């Protein structure tokens, strides 16, 4: 719990436009380096081209993307993200190895 609070505090300090900070909440499922198949379902997203990730995130937010039957879960993850947030996260993921 303390760690979670520390992460949330750090996220707030770094501001909403920091890709690494925004990605923190994604890491629980996708892995710190994007190396995991989230919940055993998603593709491994590390190093995905930024445009491809952005398109996926926008699709989830709009409720139109659902490749593994878990689109509703990702809709929740993207609901509070602005277009800029999603672009910044996508750029961050593109740099993960």
CA neighbor of 75 nearest in space, from 63, 88, 86: 63
Residues that bind ligand HEC (CB under 6 A): 25-26, 28-30, 38-39, 41-43, 45, 53, 56-57, 65-71, 73-74, 77, 89
Tell me whether residue 47 or residue 71 sits nearer to ligand HEC (CB atom): 71
CB of 10 to ligand HEC, least distance (A): 16
The label of the residue with tokens 């993921």 reads: 93
CB of 58 to ligand HEC, least distance (A): 10
Tell me whether residue 33 or residue 68 sits nearer to ligand HEC (CB atom): 68
CB of 95 to ligand HEC, least distance (A): 13
CB of 16 to ligand HEC, least distance (A): 12
27 vs 12, 51, 56, 82, CA distance in Å? Answer: 17, 20, 17, 19
**Cα(97)–Cα(55) distance, rounded to whole angstroms?**
20
**Cα(57)–Cα(43) distance, rounded to whole angstroms?**
13
């Amino acid at each position: 719990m303390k760690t979670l609070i520390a992460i949330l505090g750090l996220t707030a300090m770094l501001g909403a436009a920091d890709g690494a900070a925004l990605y923190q909440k994604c890491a629980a499922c996708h892995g710190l380096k994007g190396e995991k198949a989230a919940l055993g379902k998603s593709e491994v997203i590390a190093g995905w081209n930024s445009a491809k990730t952005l398109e996926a995130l926008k699709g989830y937010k709009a409720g139109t993307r659902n490749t593994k039957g878990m689109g509703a879960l990702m809709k929740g993850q993207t609901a509070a993200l602005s277009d800029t947030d999603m672009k910044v996260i996508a750029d961050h993921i593109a740099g993960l190895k």
